[in-house]
Amino acid sequence: MDEKNRALMEAHQIAAEDEYFAARPQIDCNDRRKVFEAGFQRAWQAALSHRYPDGRLVQSEPFVQTE
């Protein structure tokens, strides 16, 4: 991940983390924040893995429910 994309991810991570723990002050501690950061970073990487090298989203199959 290049520096620009890393900075973008960190900005979104900080904002999401602050919003999440502001709503849950009773569980706000360093251990929980580290778990949140790890989950956020894995989700970010998973989201990026569904993109073409030029940044366009890879088309996925629509969800089809069978009865």
Residue pLDDT, tens place only, 27-62: 999 999 999 999 999 988 888 777 777 777 777 655
More confident residue, 34 or 2: 34
Q: Residue ranges of the alpha helices (H) in 1-67? A: 3-22, 30-48
Both tokens of 32, joined, read: 């929980």
d(CA 12, CA 35): 16
Question: Could you tell me which residues are beta bridge partners of residue 51?
Answer: 57
Both tokens of 44, joined, read: 């970010």
Residue 63: its pLDDT value, please? 56
Residue 33 neighbours by CB under 8 Å, 6+ apart: 17, 21
d(CA 51, CA 55): 6
